[in-house]
Amino acid sequence: MFGYRVPAPDEAMLISGGRRGLGGAPFRVVTGHGKFVLPIFRKTRFLSLAMSESEVVEKCVTRQGIALTVRAVIAFKVGNDHESIVNAGQRFLSDQEQMSVLTGRIFAGHLRSIIGSMTVEEIVTERQKLATEVLDTSKAEMAKIGLHVDSLQIQSIDDGQTGYIEAMSRPHKANIQRAAQIAQAQATQAAAEAEQAAARKQAEYARQTAIVQAEYSAEVDRAKAHADQAGPLALARAQQEVLAAQTELALKQAELREKQLVAEIVKPAEADAERIRVLALAEAERMKIQAEAAASFDRVALDRMLIDQLPQIVKEASAGLAGANVNVLNGADGLGEIAAGLVGQGLTILDSVRKNLGGSAVPGDGIERYLGAPGGGDDGPVDVR
């Protein structure tokens, strides 16, 4: 927009014309934002707030009267507060390069003043103390012109041709050299001791190696002797094992032959004997059975013969009664009863024998039972005189 101005982040915009700024300043200060400025009626200028540096090379005389050339670098900038910007703007706005020149001059004066109150030893050994004192003494003066110092570095201190600093460093150098020589001697001694220790260790290692080698050689000799003895011993053990195996084989062969003989001779003989015995028993049993059968057959044949003759026997007995002197108690009826009883007894015996033969009766159990038994008839008492 026409007439609207914005300062850079590291700048302060100073607007002059119109009403005055804060604190009676002849201009208004704007930072961090823009502002509308009427053209022709207002004038706008920019003051840099960026970091600047100034180098100081100054010859100073110490409290001992020794001239020193001191080189220092100052880092500074315009303060961020309104008062610092106003003070710097009133002094350096038209020529901002003058800030570095004026700052160098201010610090050169303070360096001469402070170094004049110190010895060379203090300046050389306490540079930070020197820088701090210079900053403290220049702070108020720099604030008046709106500048703020961030740091002060003492880069070098030179005494020219006087050689004071070098002479001052000689005792330290001597001490350092002496310490270095001592350290070197100690290092040499330590190296010698280390070499001796290494030599002792090497000798000890060689001794242990020789002992180990001797023990190894002895062990090898013992192993060789043992190996030399192991051959015959192994051969003897092998032969012994062969003999034992042969003996065991012979025993097994004898057992096998014994079993073969038993199988080939004894078992067949026992089998033949058993067969003969069984055959003999069978033959005896057969003969016994045949004898019993023959005896049974003879009895059966006899029984059959008797049975076949029984009718004739009964007939003859009946006929014999005709001439017998028989006292019949019941007269003619009694005689008829006797004859009828004899015929009935004969027929009964015949039927019984036939039944027994048909039912596989025991031989000899026919006629003997009926003829030989007393009272074989079924009728009452018969008196035969």
How far apart (Å, rounded) are the C-alpha atoms in residues 322 and 276?
A: 67
Beta strand 43-48 with 52-61 is unpaired
Distances (CA, A) of 127 to 304, 323, 355: 175, 202, 170
Q: What was the pLDDT predicted at 211?
A: 92
| Amino acid identity, position 16 | S
Q: For position 73, what pLDDT does the model report?
A: 93
Least Cα distance to 46 among 26, 31, 35, 33 occurs for: 31
Angle, helices 127-144/98-115, rounded to nearest 10 degrees:
130
Please give the model's pTM, rounded to 2 decimal places.
0.42
Distance, in Å, from the CA atom of 162 to the CA atom of 164, rounded to the nearest integer, reads 5
Q: What element of type H or E holds 186?
A: helix 164-261
**Ramachandran angles phi, psi of 359, nearest 5°:** -100, 20
Q: What is the pLDDT of residue 239?
A: 87
CA atoms of 314 and 305, how far apart (whole Å): 14
Average pLDDT per 10 consecutive residues for the chain, totaling 385 residues: 76 78 73 78 85 90 89 90 86 87 91 89 87 89 89 87 81 84 90 90 90 89 82 82 89 88 82 81 81 71 67 63 50 54 63 59 43 43 38
**Parallel, antiparallel or unpaired: strands 67-78 and 147-158:** antiparallel
Q: From CA 58, how far away is CA 150, in angstroms rounded?
A: 20
Q: CA 65 → CA 60, 194, 375, distances in Å? A: 9, 54, 198
Contact 148/76 with Cβ under 8 angstroms? yes
Reference 8, options 27, 24, 30, 25; nearest CA is 30
Beta-sheet pairing, 27-30 with 11-16: antiparallel
